[in-house]
Amino acid sequence: MNDLRSITEAPAAAPRRSARLIAAALALSEPLVEWTIRLCGWSAILFVAAIFFFVFREAAPVLCGELNLREFFTSPNWIPSSEVRPQYGILALLIGTLSVTGLAMLLAVPLGLGAAVYISEFCSGKVRETLKVVIELLATIPSIVWGFVGYMVIGPVIIEVTGAAVGINLLNGGIILALMSVPVIVLVLLMQRYLVRGLTFGAVRG
């Protein structure tokens, strides 16, 4: 009788033993995983801090003694490696940045606004969800990929159409930045629309 009981209890004890082993392994691995995640988070912060430290350390001699703020903001000449007279003027850099940003916004805001209105008001359910997925995928494309597209695709097209000497110019930068901005603008507008609709129907902020 005892032999029969031990035979029937043996298969039932095996799953309990396996469950206890799995629970013990999870209890041991959980602190390791937690500290690994903490280490990754702190390492990212330390890397960013190290980058700032390196940049400021290299620029400290210029910032503390040689930099003329008036020339820095009003001169278009950026010649930091000159052995005769180094020049640190960012006027051309500022104008170029503002010009590319302005052109990109002129292109991206109407396109993004129109796309958001079309998706939210005129699309059927299945088409709307498909377009949302496509836009989310476009928003995740890395900037280096867009840069490659601008260099290899849009640059030659600009040279062919406009007869410009080079294809990497203000127009190319504005088009690429607009293409990068449109998906983000559409997603932000769609989220704001759904948030306002939810608040209208009595949703409460969590």
Q: Where are the domains of the chain?
A: 2-66, 91-200
Q: What is the pLDDT of residues 102-134, one digit of tens each?
A: 999 999 999 999 998 888 888 888 888 899 899
Q: What is the pLDDT of residues 145-177, one digit of tens each?
A: 999 999 999 999 999 998 888 888 899 999 999
156 near 167, Cβ under 8 Å?
A: yes
Which range is most confident: 50-54, 60-64, 85-89? 50-54
77 or 19: which leads in pLDDT: 77
CB neighbours of residue 182 within 10 Å: 24
104 near 177, Cβ under 8 Å?
A: yes
CB neighbours of residue 149 within 10 Å: 16
Instruction: Supply the pTM of this predicted model.
Output: 0.67
Give residue 72's Cα distance to chain centre.
30
DSSP state of 167: S
Distance CA 2, CA 24 (A): 31
